[in-house]
Amino acid sequence: MSTQTPDTDSENEQPSSTSPQERRMAEKQARKEQREADEAAAANEIQGETVELKVFRYDPEIEGKEEPRFDSFTVPFEKGMTVLDALIYARDEYDSSLTFRHSCRQAVCGSDAFFVNGSQRLGCQTQIADLDGPVRVEPLPHQDVVKDLVVEMDHFYDQMESVDPFFDPDETPDDELEEQRQDRENREKVKLSTRCIWCGACMSSCNIAAGDNKYLGPAAINKAYRFYMDEREGENKRQERLEIIEAEHGVWRCQTQFSCTNVCPKDIPLTDHIQELKREAVKQNLKFW
Amino acid sequence: MSQSYDRGLIEDFGRWREFTAGMWAWVFHKFTGWVLIGYLFTHIAVLSTSMQGAKTFNSTIQGLESLALVRLLEVGLLAVAVFHILNGIRLLFVDLGVGLESQDKSFYASLVLTGIIVVASVPTFVSGAF
């Protein structure tokens, strides 16, 4: 209030010290500013259909953001808009500190698995039109949150690597350039398991993996399946793989809740593969001949 | 898993509305399994305390059967046992890798079948109790 008093004083003095032209210029300038402000306000008011996003926010490193909370964003809806598109809009237009992983935007890189409306989904694969609003976006459950929607993936990658997720044949061809061909039937058998994009949705949805940190988890077992079923590797590697698969925290932890199969964005029949490996393990250990 | 903050029940049973068929089948199978174990021990306790002779045995059983609550619990016991059996058969097929793509339908089928059998059994269990 104290700053306003001298202002009014100077305004009263101004007309006497300025020419009519300067006064008109000042009025014109004021009108222009007013018009621009109106236009900006109109632009802020979104025309057409909108979608309400409720996004989980958490940042342990910034004071005042350590408490997890939900922020609401109203984003203009476009036909074909995905959850990732909406998040990108919210980040670019409203809050540049909104943090989430994304890369290819076409369900190939596996970076943007979120917990959307109570289910693990890929942001880039989930159509806003298919969801009931407001769309609630959270980081993957059962994983440590680093910031906002970014979760710690180290444990998931450790489990994936523990099953030797690479082709490792007992014998390599004599000629360095000779191909190791897989027959068509065998390729068909492992085809679905090769689709995995390491997004971690299945592991996050698994109730057993949540309570047992040593459990390999659906993705790692699926990876083990992919190579165990590959006929080109040879008997030695097959036995090694089986030992990993049938270990205490391997396939037998699965209790067939089908959560992983339900959330897998690539539609891999994970429970099928786990069950088949269980039968393999039994067959190898029950031999009466 | 160690949590850097507490998301509480929100991650687990707080989400029960979003559970899928397979998850419900698992929850019910666990629950009915524990109920059946609990029943087994009560069963042993009741029978072993009424083994002094035919008279004690008859009076114990008749005394229990005259209670309306016991009759209702018997209906509940049948429901629990039938679901556990039917879902057990479903799980057998799941273990054999048969029809995994329709595992949700077989769960609903076992629920419906349990309901029908239980409703059909009510007259038998409850007759004369009220």
Structural domains in chain A, CATH included, are 50-151 (3.10.20.30), 154-285 (1.10.1060.10)
In a domain, B12, yes or no: no
- Token look-up 């009759």 returns B71
Of A136-140, B16-20, B81-85, B97-101, the least confident: B16-20
The answer to whether A142 contacts B94, with C-beta atoms less than 8 Å apart, is: no
Picking from B4, B13, B94, B98 by the largest number of A CB atoms within 10 A of its own CB, the best residue to mutate is: B4
Determine, yes or no, domain membership for B3: no
- With cut-offs at 50, 70 and 90, classify the pLDDT of residue B11: low
The complex's ipTM works out to 0.83
Q: Give the residue ranges of chain A where pLDDT is below 50.
A: 1-13
- Is the bond preceding A141 in cis, omega lying within 30 degrees of 0? no
Q: What is the mean pLDDT of chain A?
A: 88
Residue B14 lies in a domain: no
Q: What is the pTM of this model?
A: 0.82
Residue B11 lies in a domain: no
In sequence order, which ranges of A45-177 are alpha helices (DSSP H)? 83-93, 154-161
Is B6 part of any domain? no
Task: Tell me the nearest-neighbour CA distance from B27 into chain A, angstroms.
Answer: 9
Q: Is residue B77 in some structural domain?
A: yes
CA distance A241 to A233: 10
With respect to residue B13, please indicate whether it lies within any of the assigned structural domains.
Answer: no
pLDDT at A273: 95
Q: Residue B6's pLDDT is what?
A: 52
With CB atoms and an 8 Å threshold, state whether A257 touches B97: no
Is residue B95 situated within a structural domain? yes
Instruction: In whole angstroms, give the CA distance from residue A14 to residue A20.
Output: 11
Q: What is the pLDDT of residues B32-76, one digit of tens each?
A: 999 999 999 999 999 999 988 899 999 999 999 899 999 999 999
Q: What is the CATH number of the domain that holds B82?
A: 1.20.1300.10
CB contact under 8 A, A259 and B23: yes
Burial class, A205, CB count within 10 angstroms (exposed 0-12 / middle 13-18 / buried 19+): buried
Q: How many domains does chain B have?
A: 1
Residue A132 DSSP label: P
Give the range of the structural domain holding residue B77, as residue numbers without chain letter. Answer: 20-126
Whether residue B22 and residue A262 make contact (CB cut-off 8 A), yes or no, is yes
- B110 band by pLDDT with thresholds 50, 70 and 90: very high
d(C-alpha A113, C-alpha A108), whole Å: 11
